[in-house]
């Protein structure tokens, strides 16, 4: 768990290079108050956290103050991946106990951070990892608490506007010009933290929260925004896919309707068969020929050629040939001799009687003559 603690800078001096060097108290024992959201208890407004001496001055904890990067305000966890962008200085190695405080040397090297210091931003806040045990208890001097720290490891030291520990942790021996006294811890558990809060606009509402709370909200807002973008991308992709699928289905439906329109009913088939039979019959009236397997246009052309010869249709359009066919059909319909011959040709004969039918006919004719 990352916690922050605030103390003041003292023993300040400037080097010839423009750096700001100081010796500062950076941690203390006792009660410090946190918003519940800072320590994983968002449903509790204020958590009073007790730092016992055995945790603050533990050997591992004291060793972790040395060579920590300094930042201008807190920016979450500082590590090898981001220190170059965040660091404005660092702590030294001579970590000492000073009564109830831990004191370390530090150097502030960034010009912008030094200007902030000169403008009145002079307090320090440790960013640390800590093991927090939530329990109700009472300190040796009679103060109640809701949680207790068992171990700590420092991560970074931040230059901040307000110290959590109170006015006694201000910069140097005198308050900076124009800086007002800070509110002290309320023995009853209250704490004026308004100046340490940030205002954020969330879903149209203005809220106040700590720096850590603001960072968490901003991170969640970004994740929500990214999720909305991803949802929109997926929705648009789905809509495009559905539009493509709908177009494909519409095309298939059109093809099916087209095929249905091309299907012939039984009546249509009968009609077409009759029309073809009539056409072939008409063609045979014009001229005998084999019209099997030919299209309507080919049947007309074959009949005209059989009747008039190839020259009659050479280089002629289908419409011309169809007109000649109709004229020949009318002529054939008016020729009674041809009709009679075709009718006679159509009567059945018995080629296997070897003249028996003719012989019988002559006998009958002779008998009729004798009878007269």
pLDDT digits (tens, 9 = 90+) for 218-263: 777 778 878 888 888 888 888 888 888 888 888 888 888 777 766 7
Cβ-contact 358, 366 below 8 angstroms: no
User: What is the torsion angle, in degrees rounded to the nearest 10, for the CA atoms of residue 7, residue 12, residue 16 and residue 19?
Assistant: 10
Residue with tokens 């929500």: 224
**Residue 302: φ, ψ to 5°:** -65, -40
Tally of CA atoms within 13 A in the half-sphere of 167 that contains its CB: 10
Report d(CA 125, CA 362) in Å as an integer: 147
* pLDDT for 82 beyond 70: yes
User: Are 163 and 123 spatial neighbours (Cβ–Cβ below 8 Å)?
Assistant: yes
- How high is the pLDDT of residue 193? 38
pLDDT > 70 in the chain, percent: 74
Per residue in 192-227, pLDDT tens?
A: 333 345 555 565 555 666 665 666 677 777 788 788
pLDDT at residue number 122: 85
pLDDT on residue 178: 41
Q: In this predicted model, what pLDDT tens digit does every residue of 277-327 receive, in sequence order?
A: 898 989 888 888 888 888 999 999 998 988 889 988 888 899 999 998 999
Does the pTM of the predicted model rise above 0.75? no
The per-residue pLDDT for range 4-63, each reduced to its tens digit, is 555 556 678 899 999 999 988 888 899 988 888 888 888 888 999 999 999 999 999 999
């Amino acid at each position: 768990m990352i916690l922050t603690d605030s103390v003041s800078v003292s023993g300040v001096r400037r080097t010839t290079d423009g750096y700001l060097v100081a010796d500062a108290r950076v941690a203390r024992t006792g009660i410090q108050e946190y918003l519940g959201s800072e320590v994983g208890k968002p449903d509790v407004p204020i958590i009073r956290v007790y730092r016992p001496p055995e945790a603050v001055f533990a050997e591992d904890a004291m060793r972790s103050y040395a060579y920590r990067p300094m930042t201008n305000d807190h920016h979450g966890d500082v590590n090898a991946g981001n220190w170059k962008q965040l660091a404005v200085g660092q702590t030294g190695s001579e970590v000492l106990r000073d009564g109830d405080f831990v004191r370390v040397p530090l150097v502030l090297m960034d010009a912008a951070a030094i200007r902030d210091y000169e403008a009145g931003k002079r307090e320090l806040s440790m960013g640390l990892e800590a093991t927090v045990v939530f329990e109700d208890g009472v300190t040796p001097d009679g103060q109640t608490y809701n949680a207790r720290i068992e171990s700590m490891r420092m991560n970074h030291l931040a230059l901040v506007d307000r110290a959590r520990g109170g006015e006694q942790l201000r910069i140097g021996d005198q308050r900076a010009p124009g800086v007002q006294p800070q509110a002290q811890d309320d023995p009853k558990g209250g704490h004026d933290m308004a100046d340490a809060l940030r205002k954020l606009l969330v879903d149209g509402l203005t809220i106040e929260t700590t720096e850590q709370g603001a960072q968490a909200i901003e991170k969640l807002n970004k994740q929500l925004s990214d999720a909305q973008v991803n949802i929109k991308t997926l929705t648009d992709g789905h809509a495009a896919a559905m539009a493509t699928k709908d177009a494909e289905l519409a095309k298939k439906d059109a093809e099916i309707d087209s095929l249905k329109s091309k299907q012939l009913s039984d009546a249509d088939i009968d009609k077409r068969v009759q029309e073809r039979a009539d056409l072939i019959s008409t063609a045979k009236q014009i001229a005998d020929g084999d019209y099997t397997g030919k299209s309507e246009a080919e049947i007309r052309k074959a009949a005209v050629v059989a009747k008039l010869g190839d020259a009659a249709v050479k280089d002629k359009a289908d419409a011309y040939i169809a007109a000649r066919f109709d004229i020949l059909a009318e002529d054939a319909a008016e020729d009674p001799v041809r009709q009679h011959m075709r009718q006679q040709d159509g009567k059945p004969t018995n080629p296997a009687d070897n003249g028996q039918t003719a012989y019988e006919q002559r006998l009958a004719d002779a008998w009729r003559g004798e009878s007269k």
